[in-house]
Chain A
């Protein structure tokens, strides 16, 4: 069976490196990356990920707008999207859910929490 594929989206190289390291050490998921929302929308169409883990505050296109775009595209309409951000306020999370995300995690990322959440969507 092919490994599940996750699209990691963040403008921070550090965040991408850490997320990739967590997932490579603790899961068998395959990771592809994008560094802003615009690139993520294109890559999500091309790569057909099983899940998208995406930062919110990014240049060119933020995570909320990218999420809305992905929900408009047939190829990504049903793909689970988890938004990841430093902002934990309820209003901010509500905006995330209105943009179409399935879940919301706050930074700094807890590795166990992240893996557990992704496994709830993708299985082990």
Chain B
């Protein structure tokens, strides 16, 4: 597929269009976090979400939905999940063998949140819904959009506010 054709199909993807519009129209930090929850729940199929700051100290949980903050206080609990690659800016899907046959079911998704050319936070989708059996190309595009737009909305200069 040519680059222009790819861009055209991106523009025509209702999920990408809705997610981008929702994030760009968010009015403050709380609304941006609500937009993240809506996008991850409704468009990606996950109701257990954590947003972790990336810093020199604790890499601590700064916002969450549907998880126990006491059990997921820091990114350190995910050390065996390809975290280093995520911190370098790659998104990562940790897979496990599903219950039905040998279908691989996504278990956890790690999304680097990028601002000013570096990873400033990591969005972790801890457990995808049972009916969400695959993480396809369209999901990957949506994850890339989250990586850029959430960083812009929460962490860049003139953003809605630091998470």
Contact = CB atoms under 8 A, between A and B. Distances in A.
A21 B42 contact: no
A15 B14 CA distance: 10
Interface residues of A, number: 17
Dominant SS at the B interface?
A: helix
Interface in B10-58: 12, 14-15, 17-19, 21-22, 35, 38-39, 41-45, 47
A77 to B, nearest CB: 29
Interface in A94-121: 106-109, 111
A88 B47 CA distance: 13
- Interface range on chain B (Cβ under 8 Å from partner): 20 to 34
Given A86-B47, A108-B42, A17 B129 contact: no
B129 A18 contact: no
Interface string A1-15: 000000000101111
14 contacts: A10-B42, A12-B42, A17-B22, A18-B17, A18-B18, A21-B14, A21-B17, A22-B14, A25-B12, A86-B41, A88-B130, A106-B129, A108-B42, A108-B132
Interface of A: 10, 12-15, 17-18, 21-22, 25, 86, 88, 106-109, 111
